[in-house]
Structure 1
Amino acid sequence: MTYHNWTKQEISLLSKAVKKHGLNWAIIQRTYFPEFNVISIKNKYYAVAHEIMVRRQEKAASGQSTSQDEQVVQKSQEQIKNESSIFSEDDLLKQIRIILTQNQQ
């Protein structure tokens, strides 16, 4: 498959699939995105997660909020308004913790 521009609906579906199946990319691919390969699905998920984290860090650097918890709440509220809530703050934080734990092992 060549490059694909993901729609908001596809990204939302990906978020829901990860919430339901965790990071089991093979199941997500077979069940929700049979036309894509596993690597492209995984890469899209991490790209979107990275974009969210970068925006959060940019806000923190600009001094717009004073604590990490406030940043998470603000980002979540912005997502609901601007991005149709692609990832909930809890889902993203859980996935980041899993990734960090795996990287430390």
Structure 2
Amino acid sequence: MPYHNWTKQEINLLSSAVKKHGLKWAIIQKNYFPEFNVISVKNKYYAYAHEIMVRRQERAASGQSASQDEQLVQKSQNQVKNESNTLSEEDLLQQIRTILTQQLQ
């Protein structure tokens, strides 16, 4: 499949699917994105999570506050933290940091 520009709706759907199913990429791909392969879905999610992490670090360095969208993300992630079957944002970001560190070595 050629390169695909993901829409905001697709990214929101992907984020919701991860909140519901955790990092079970085969289930997410099959049920939500059958037109993509599993690797594309996984890579898009990690790229999106990395973008969020970078923006937060930039905001923290500049002293800016979170945007409305980020506040909504935080609110939904707080709900996820209350559910025992999914990863918290911090756990996900830690996994991403670990993966990126391993890839850089």
TM-score normalised to structure 2 length: 0.69
Distance 1:99 1:5 in 2: 22
1:96 to 2:93 alignment: yes
Structure 2: where are the runs of 5+ without partners?
Answer: 79-87, 101-105
Q: Which residue of 2 aligns with 1:40?
A: 40
Counting only pairs closer than 5 Å after superposition, residues 4-43 of structure 1 correspond to structure 2 as 4-43=4-43
What residue identity is the alignment partner of 2:2?
Answer: T
Q: Which residue of 2 aligns with 1:55?
A: 55
The offset of 1:16, in angstroms, is 0.7
Distance 1:14 1:3 in 2: 17
- On the 8 A contact 1:49/1:92 being kept in 2, the answer is no
- On the 8 A contact 1:17/1:28 being kept in 2, the answer is yes
TM-score normalised to structure 1 length: 0.69
Change (3 A) 1:43 1:102: closer
Change (3 A) 1:101 1:43: closer
For the aligned residues, what is the CA RMSD?
3.0
Structure 1: where are the runs of 5+ without partners?
Answer: 66-73
The offset of 1:34, in angstroms, is 0.5
Change (3 A) 1:54 1:98: closer
Aligned-pair identity in percent equals 62
Runs of at least 4 residues off by over 6 Å = none
What residue identity is the alignment partner of 1:50?
Answer: H
